[in-house]
Amino acid sequence: MIKTILSKNENISPNDKEISILREHFPSCFRLDGSFDMVRFSEFLEDKIDVAHEGYELKFLGKNYARLLSSLETETVIVPDEAHNKLPENCNSENIYISGDNLDALKHLLKSYAGKIKCIYIDPPYNTGTDGFVYNDNFNFSIDDLVEKLSINEDQAQHILDLTTRGSASHSAWLMFMYPRLQLARDLLTNDGIIFISIDDNEQSNCKLICDDIFGEDNFLTCISRATGTPTGGGFDGLVNELDYILIYARNISTASINSLERLEKDEEIYNEVDEQGNRYLTRSLRRTGGDNRREDRPTMYFPMIDPDGNEVFPIGPSGYESRWICNRETATQLEANGMIVWKKRKLLGKEVWHPYQKHYLNGKNKKPGNIWKYFFCPDNNQVFLWDEIEGNKKATRDIRDIFDGKKIFDTAKPIELIEKIISIGSNPKDIVLDFFSGSATTAHSLMNINCQNQESERKYILIQIPEQVKKNSDAEKAGFKTIDEIGMKRIIYTTHKLKETYPDILTDLGFKHYTLKDLSQNTLNKLEQFDNSGFITDTSIYDEFGTATILTTWLMHDGYGFTNNAQIITLDNYTAYWCDNHLYCINPDMSEESIKALIDKYNMQGTFNPQNIVIFGYNFNYVELENIKTNIKILRDSEKNLKINLDIRY
């Protein structure tokens, strides 16, 4: 399969993905010579959407290169951590931790999890100049390759190569780094899914532009402003920055869902009126304020209402101009009938007059989240704090110290309470949460907290972290850590121990399975290129580079079964194969004639056994063995059962 991917990637263009989608849904728009008929395409749309001839788009050096990267298939394999995954606490876990480049990991995930992730949270590099971000990749393109694939000149191609191979922290480099990852992330989201992206002023505006480009500007939900409690920048002659941001986009705004949050004591001060049943509410003027608040803006919303004295009241602005209500006459009448209008006296042009206000109830225990996050709820003492009262990000650092015996193992963690809030509003109890810049694994920590505190929650996580080297002479290195992913996994394990102490009877899934993405060595690539199975001798040296577990895991992901599947071992005489739903995998060498006969008998005699795809690891089978398999499968196809079996030989 890797050899096939290598060949396919040589011919990939930046827009191959988009073209394939258009071919699938609009085949009549392609001419005989393969060119796309834009005029005919616009005719399909004109009844449903205005076709604009002017537009605004994000352009940066390397944008087409970034699109090309998202179109290429990953050339890595998935190596399971068998010793870790077999531990009792992990063997049945549905939580996943992947060590590897998130660009490759996202491509693997798309094969099985496209449209299945409800909530994504990421805390990518901020490109502050001090956070260590530089762009590097291992795609070995030449200048001629880029000139041909991207339709650019040699100078532009050289500039892109300089960004990718020499390391750059420019805005273009950051955009080129983020663009393909966000493009792939979009396709992982469910139709009602949401992505949350932490960012600060350095790249916030650029991040919004690429998200508008990828998700669509109309799918932008909001930008949360968060008080960090850790002022940065400025000085005697400058302003201090006390905020960072969380951009939120929906996969599809018409179906996106945001959950309410648990009501906090602080809300009592806002919803400060109480009705006869004891329900708390606040009131807001029924008159439109702000922009578009004049009669001429919405004439149908200028009409009289009857005050408690029986007089007509019109919407009048503070300086006496004719204004408008926030709703039409019919809606206002319905609100009054439902007891949702409160009349209060207010001053207008020096006189006390009646004015209508609409009730807004604090429903039960819940409230809708806003986009300014100044507070957090501490479950330990049931109190509400301002972020700066608990030092915001500094508390996240203290959380890390508490976990790692007082050592500052990780510098840029986010507060646990912040991620808990994001997970709570962005996902439901059965959902999968993805974080592909996992860092110290705060997302896993927060999700496990939620699952332990709420027995109805069975959320699962998928975390991805590149095995980035820890800094020399850092507390992390002194504590024995070599890479960031080691810190993340150790944090999950330590957190699990503490949660089990706090909740000794908890049955929630606190384990995780670990996988590593592995690039093929040049030696292996050479063997793939030179492989020849036309003889009678089987050479298993390529198989020895991978092993059965790696091949099977990679193939299960490729074929849509994911990390959580019902694959089982099948014994065919003395040969071990692997069966998962519609696929039978024959990976191991030495499949004898007796084993092939046992396979045919199983198809003929066991009614529940009918995988329609037999997948062969071609490097472990010589010419004679493959011909024997092909002959017997043809017999099965031609039998009375008329079985439809596809033979897939992968290299």
Q: What is the pLDDT of residue 227?
A: 79
Give the tens place of pLDDT for each residue, 106-124: 999 999 999 999 999 999 9
Q: Which CATH architecture has domain 78-134+171-259+380-516?
A: 3-Layer(aba) Sandwich (3.40)
Phi, psi of 299 (to 5 degrees): -55, -30
Q: What is the pLDDT of residue 390?
A: 41
Distance (Å, rounded) from C-alpha 174 to C-alpha 63?
11
Residue 636 in contact with residue 548, Cβ under 8 Å? no
Q: Bridge partners of 285?
A: 357
Q: What is the pLDDT of residue 368?
A: 65
Give the tens place of pLDDT for each residue, 116-162: 999 999 999 988 776 778 777 777 788 888 888 888 888 888 888 88
Per-residue 3-state assignment (H helix, E strand, C coil) for 597-647: HHHHHHHHHCCCCCCCEEEEEHHHCCHHHHHHHHHHHHHHHHCCCCCCCEE
Which tokens go with 80? 């399971």
Work out the pLDDT band at 183, boundaries 50, 70, 90: very high
pLDDT beyond 80 at 441: yes
pLDDT average, residue stretch 419-447: 96
Question: If 0-12 CB within 10 Å is exposed, 13-18 middle and 19+ buried, where does residue 626 land?
Answer: middle
Q: What is the pLDDT of residue 329?
A: 93
Q: What is the pLDDT of residue 56?
A: 61
Distance (Å, rounded) from C-alpha 25 to C-alpha 44?
11
pLDDT beyond 50 at 381: no
pLDDT average, residue stretch 14-36: 74
- What are the distances in angstroms from CA 316 to CA 245, 302, 330, 356? 38, 9, 19, 12
Distance (Å, rounded) from C-alpha 589 to C-alpha 620?
5
What percentage of the chain exceeds 90 in pLDDT?
53
Question: In terms of Cα–Cα distance, which of 630, 464, 525, 550 is closest to 5?
Answer: 525
pLDDT average, residue stretch 4-15: 71
User: For residues 476 and 534, which has the higher predicted lDDT (pLDDT)?
Assistant: 476
pLDDT beyond 60 at 23: yes
pLDDT beyond 60 at 503: yes
Work out the pLDDT band at 46, boundaries 50, 70, 90: low
Work out the pLDDT band at 559, boundaries 50, 70, 90: very high
Phi, psi of 92 (to 5 degrees): -110, 10
User: For residues 167 and 329, which has the higher predicted lDDT (pLDDT)?
Assistant: 329
Question: In terms of Cα–Cα distance, which of 60, 71, 59 is closest to 5?
Answer: 71
What percentage of the chain exceeds 70 in pLDDT?
88
Phi, psi of 585 (to 5 degrees): -105, 120
Distance (Å, rounded) from C-alpha 392 to C-alpha 415?
7
Give the tens place of pLDDT for each residue, 469-499: 999 999 999 999 999 999 999 999 999 999 9
Q: Please, which residues have CB within 8 angstroms of residue 545's CB and are 6 or more apart in sequence?
A: 520, 521, 523, 524, 527
DSSP tag of 72: S
**pLDDT mean across residues, the chain:** 87
Phi, psi of 132 (to 5 degrees): 85, 5
Distance (Å, rounded) from C-alpha 611 to C-alpha 619?
22
Q: How close are the terminal C-alpha atoms of the chain, in Å?
A: 4
Name residue, tokens 């049931």: 382
Q: Please, which residues have CB within 8 angstroms of residue 262's CB and are 6 or more apart in sequence?
A: 365, 366, 377, 424
Residue 30 in contact with residue 23, Cβ under 8 Å? yes
Residue 194 in contact with residue 249, Cβ under 8 Å? yes
Q: What is the pLDDT of residue 332?
A: 93
pLDDT beyond 50 at 388: no
Q: Please, which residues have CB within 8 angstroms of residue 265's CB and are 6 or more apart in sequence?
A: 383, 384
Count the residues in the chain: 651
Question: In terms of Cα–Cα distance, which of 326, 411, 328 is closest to 123?
Answer: 411
Helix (H, G, I), strand (E, B) or coil at 489: helix
Question: In terms of Cα–Cα distance, which of 394, 397, 390 is closest to 475?
Answer: 397
The ranges of the chain annotated as CATH 3.40.50.150 are 78-134+171-259+380-516
Q: Please, which residues have CB within 8 angstroms of residue 20's CB and are 6 or more apart in sequence?
A: none
Question: In terms of Cα–Cα distance, which of 519, 464, 651, 463 is closest to 79?
Answer: 519
Distance (Å, rounded) from C-alpha 279 to C-alpha 359?
11
Residue 514 in contact with residue 91, Cβ under 8 Å? no
Contacts of 587-591 spanning 24+ positions with Cβ under 8 A: 587/543, 587/548, 587/551, 587/552, 587/617, 587/620, 588/548, 588/617, 588/620, 589/538, 589/540, 589/543, 589/620, 589/621, 590/538, 591/621, 591/625, 591/629
Name residue, tokens 């043809």: 634
Which tokens go with 386? 């301002």
Distance (Å, rounded) from C-alpha 344 to C-alpha 307?
9
User: For residues 439 and 279, which has the higher predicted lDDT (pLDDT)?
Assistant: 439
Q: C-alpha angle 303/304/310, rounded to 5°? A: 170
pLDDT beyond 60 at 438: yes
User: For residues 446 and 33, which has the higher predicted lDDT (pLDDT)?
Assistant: 446
Work out the pLDDT band at 302, boundaries 50, 70, 90: very high
pLDDT average, residue stretch 5-26: 72
Residue 556 in contact with residue 96, Cβ under 8 Å? no
pLDDT beyond 80 at 372: no
Q: Please, which residues have CB within 8 angstroms of residue 354's CB and are 6 or more apart in sequence?
A: 307, 308, 309, 311, 313, 343, 344, 345
pLDDT average, residue stretch 58-76: 88
Q: What is the pLDDT of residue 394?
A: 73
- What are the distances in angstroms from CA 647 to CA 378, 592, 631? 58, 18, 11
pLDDT beyond 60 at 356: yes
pLDDT average, residue stretch 252-257: 86
Q: Bridge partners of 386?
A: 375
Give the tens place of pLDDT for each residue, 580-617: 999 999 999 999 999 999 999 999 999 899 999 999 99
| pTM for this entry | 0.78
Distance (Å, rounded) from C-alpha 339 to C-alpha 331?
12
User: For residues 396 and 295, which has the higher predicted lDDT (pLDDT)?
Assistant: 295
pLDDT beyond 80 at 465: yes
Distance (Å, rounded) from C-alpha 454 to C-alpha 447?
11
